[in-house]
Structure 1
């Protein structure tokens, strides 16, 4: 694939001809439709591809359902249109300035599952909450742990996040307090969008991952740690997670990530056959987390214990079906070093070691008005870097909770 485009691509732009991510945009003078990002522009796919009705829609779902061969066909055609100057006159009218369009939720979510796939994150949380015990629970290295989330509160990047209210752990012998969360946290994650469905009662193997998953995006799974601590036992996350999960507006196709594929970490436990991943679907993604404009963490997805292919295989091993628009996330991405921790609970060690910002203020958890931005890059062809854009969200105060 050529790296040159007749569309200007600024130095350092995440959206080169190697990336070509898909999203949904609202032009100044028309209805929402599917586009591809290139540099500082968005290509109107319906117009560029001859008024293809597949892309004249406010969602990627119709295209996602068409399957891998169609995904590859369209990517090859878009690459040709944007890199061969012979197409410039015909395609240029289909380009929109990115700063003049609105970016919307790129797909219609079906089900949403969130995993817990980082060994470093899981071990850190275990050390905080179960001191003196084994940090990982007994099943952790035998299966990818996850829970079903609330797809209706997946929101696109830029949507304000209202501070949730709920019950928290009571003092000894008292009633549980009710009020706004005082321990509101982030979780820097990576998300995977399913295109091709599967039949109920069948399994999707690790080798079938790329036939079902269309692409990858960034996720911030906002978490109310004080609500979570009170409600968590015995059924796990509920209101502490379901109020908002932010998703980046651009979905990077798996075909853009060939150079980013890596082997998973060495296993210390023998896996069941359905989880043995021989296709190296680990991903070398470098994330960056900014709080009010300052970098507070640089997590690496390379160290994740469970790959996205293994997550999908486990999700369907009981015969659960996939639907177009199903979405699953990795869980917090954390690495072995302190600067690679992907949530404030880890960065501040459960509030005991506050983060100090350049203005002298400190944070243990998020305050109203705080803005969090997560971005990421990955290796591209021939030593290049591709980007995912960003997922951003700002905390605003909730009501009185009554």
Structure 2
């Protein structure tokens, strides 16, 4: 939409501008969990807004706004969800809007509790940053041949655990597991000593397919409702011991954290950019035209208990080698079906400079180069009671669309 003025007071540099309109699930002491949208520091309660009749021109049951997840709303399809978003934008810029007559339709974000926005039936994590894959391959394999032979031919991924995906501000515990010392013959059991964050984004499936169906690169984004920030926690020492021969397992499934607001693909459309050149040429089913990457600035900070946060990484989603359309086309090329609410992680997002790496594994170079925080302490990996905070936003031509943050505290092992 063109530059316009919202009658709600929106702080300067707010992630939740009139150009955004992200969807989430919130509750308060007076409100059961329900659908809302973020605007400035407020939440528009879509149950209350629908009772004022603003969606009367659309043919759908507004009972979907009373649901504890967004799945039923998203399943209505973009022909409805996009129009709902547009109507909200129109009402918030209309000085005579009926929403101005009832202040109870708005809730201050400070008094709201945010919930996991969708029921995640299945979760897949990709490995699509060439910078990240090269860094890991350089550390652990051959610096002159860091990428495995298949990496530039397929969007590598694995099936993760949906049950342990949690929303921002839900704390997680340091995991236990098997690890092996560098010169040891036998493993030992105990707490992971190398808990790490992974700076990722995830997209939410908005349209189901049937078993045997495939999704084409050209129309893949029709199957994506929107995106969230994603911290894919990892226990690097557990992972190193267990990942051969079948890949990540206990090192990854103890927790993954997401931001609570889903930013729609419509809101992100103005921020499309060209992706990196893919050499060698990909197979025909992965070929695409146009701009399919997104210019989303990303930041990671570590906050020690009772301390000040230190920004440790500034990256960008635009660096991704494999884009979302290619990921989804590859995911379904064998007939694998997808469902509304399924979540697809991007894989760790690293940039080209050392301060843009998306994990402590890279930032500390496998623990060899500690990072100094503002309080003078050092980190090679995440310490007990550290809080990891990820933020992300797009900005262009005076328009800002952001994701808020995903904030998670790492607690000691659970006794």
Q: 1:170-189 counterparts in 2 under 5 A?
A: 170=181, 172=183, 174-189=185-200
Q: 1:384-399 counterparts in 2 under 5 A?
A: 384-399=399-414
Unaligned runs of 5+ in 1: none
Q: Does 1:366 align with 2:366?
A: no
> Over residues 10-60 of structure 1, what are the superposed CA-to-partner deviations in whole Å (9 max), with x where a residue is unaligned?
111110000111100002212100000000000011221237211111100
Moved more, 163-172 or 26-35: 163-172
Q: How many residues align?
A: 399
Q: Does 1:112 align with 2:123?
A: yes
Does structure 2 retain, via aligned residues, the 8 Å contact 1:207–1:279?
no
CA deviation after TM superposition for structure 1 residue 273, in Å: 1.2
Query: Residue 345 of structure 2 is aligned with which of 329, 354, 376?
Result: 329
CA distance in 2 between counterparts of 1:107 and 1:61 reads: 6
Cα pair distance change 1:13/1:132, threshold 3 Å: closer
Runs of 4+ in 1 over 2 A off after TM superposition: 88-93, 170-175
The secondary structure found in structure 2 opposite 1:182 is coil
The secondary structure found in structure 2 opposite 1:73 is helix
Q: 1:1-400 counterparts in 2 under 5 A?
A: 1=1, 2-50=3-51, 52-87=62-97, 88-90=99-101, 92-170=103-181, 172=183, 174-292=185-303, 293-380=309-396, 382-399=397-414
Does structure 1 retain, via aligned residues, the 8 Å contact 2:195–2:233?
yes
The secondary structure found in structure 2 opposite 1:85 is coil
The secondary structure found in structure 2 opposite 1:128 is helix
> Over residues 312-342 of structure 1, what are the superposed CA-to-partner deviations in whole Å (9 max), with x where a residue is unaligned?
1111011000101110010100001001001
The secondary structure found in structure 1 opposite 2:117 is coil
CA distance in 2 between counterparts of 1:338 and 1:128 reads: 14
Moved more, 244-253 or 261-270: 261-270
Moved more, 159-168 or 261-270: 261-270
CA deviation after TM superposition for structure 1 residue 173, in Å: 5.5
CA deviation after TM superposition for structure 1 residue 172, in Å: 4.3
Does structure 2 retain, via aligned residues, the 8 Å contact 1:187–1:222?
yes
Cα pair distance change 1:171/1:140, threshold 3 Å: closer
Unaligned runs of 5+ in 2: 53-61, 304-308
CA distance in 1 between counterparts of 2:158 and 2:4 reads: 40
CA distance in 1 between counterparts of 2:255 and 2:89 reads: 35
CA distance in 2 between counterparts of 1:69 and 1:169 reads: 53
The secondary structure found in structure 1 opposite 2:119 is coil
The secondary structure found in structure 1 opposite 2:32 is coil
TM-score of the pair, normalised by structure 2:
0.94
- Computed over aligned residues only, the root mean square deviation of the Cα atoms, in angstroms, reads 1.3
TM-score of the pair, normalised by structure 1:
0.97
CA distance in 2 between counterparts of 1:372 and 1:171 reads: 28
CA deviation after TM superposition for structure 1 residue 132, in Å: 4.5
Does structure 1 retain, via aligned residues, the 8 Å contact 2:14–2:400?
no
Does structure 2 retain, via aligned residues, the 8 Å contact 1:111–1:327?
yes
CA distance in 2 between counterparts of 1:97 and 1:132 reads: 51
CA deviation after TM superposition for structure 1 residue 195, in Å: 1.2
CA distance in 2 between counterparts of 1:139 and 1:81 reads: 50
CA deviation after TM superposition for structure 1 residue 379, in Å: 2.8
CA distance in 2 between counterparts of 1:132 and 1:8 reads: 53
